[in-house]
Chains A and B, each alone.
Chain A
Amino acid sequence: DVKVTQSSRYLVKRTGEKVFLECVQDMDHENMFWYRQDPGLGLRLIYFSYDVKMKEKGDIPEGYSVSREKKERFSLILESASTNQTSMYLCASSQPGQEYEQYFGPGTRLTVT
């Protein structure tokens, strides 16, 4: 079974704090993704990575950065958290050529106050 784990299920941070969200997958997948999910907006892609140290911007990268130092780990960083970054953050992974089948983590519900 593919397992995608995320470091926290719930997180509360203050405006201006630097926030780290960690994602780890155990299936040796090349591709990893970070999305946010908001009611009425579906999932929106923040960043993705198709290899170690490689990253590509998604549709809403502003205010975020990512790090992929190891194949199994993909970190999302909020440089200075703002209240409009309150959301559910979902990490996913997939094999190249099988991007239709993305395996998602359980999500981190981040609240920025």
Chain B
Amino acid sequence: DAKTTQPTSMDCAEGRAANLPCNHSTISGNEYVYWYRQIHSQGPQYIIHGLKNNETNEMASLIITEDRKSSTLILPHATLRDTAVYYCIVRRVLYGQNFVFGPGTRLSVLP
């Protein structure tokens, strides 16, 4: 699986967009980019995933560069409840295999 690199921590003002970057320069053609987050004392929560096209759902948008070596998760209007650790994971398939979370980015949304 491709290795990912994320900033250790980021701050964002409440109501503003939070842009969380992820580098995955060794990604293979059949590997997807997944984003999960983990709020303190809770289990991980799926956010979004994509292969090469940009994706949007009710929670976030995922922008993947054309060369697929990096991506950005965008929370369009961050709230205090979005304070969490965000994990970028690159895998071919998640079923039945390790869900390897790196250190992730600790996002603090500030009032």
- Residues of A near any B CB (own CB < 8 A): 4, 31, 35, 37, 42-45, 48, 56, 58-59, 90-92, 94, 99-107
A9, closest chain B residue (CB):
B41
A48 to B97 Cα, complex, angstroms: 9
- Nearest A residue (CB) for B45: A104
Are the CB atoms of A44 and B98 closer together than 8 Å? yes
B46/A43 in contact, CB under 8 A: no
Decide: A100 and B49 in contact? CB cutoff 8 A. yes
Binding site secondary structure of chain B: loop
Total number of B residues with any Cβ neighbor in A under 8 Å: 19
Closest to A90 in B: B43
Contacts of A35 in B (CB 8 A): 99
Q: Mark B32-49, 1 if CB is under 8 A from A, else 0.
A: 101000000111111001
A-binding segment of B10-18, B68-76, B88-96: B88-96
Closest Cβ neighbor of A60 among chain B residues: B98
| Chain A interface SS verdict (over half) | strand
Smallest CB gap from A43: residue in B: B99
* B interface with A by C-beta (< 8 Å): 32, 34, 41-46, 49, 93-102
* Cα distance A42–B95 in the bound complex, in angstroms: 16
CB distance from B18 to the nearest CB of A (A): 21
Shortest Cβ distance from B93 into A: residue: A99
A44 to B96, CA, bound (A): 10
| B41: A residues at CB distance < 8 A | 106-107
Which listed residue, A56, A58, A59, A104, touches B43 by the CB 8 Å rule? A104
Task: Say whether, besides A99-B93, A100-B49, A4 and B43 are in contact (CB < 8 Å).
Answer: yes
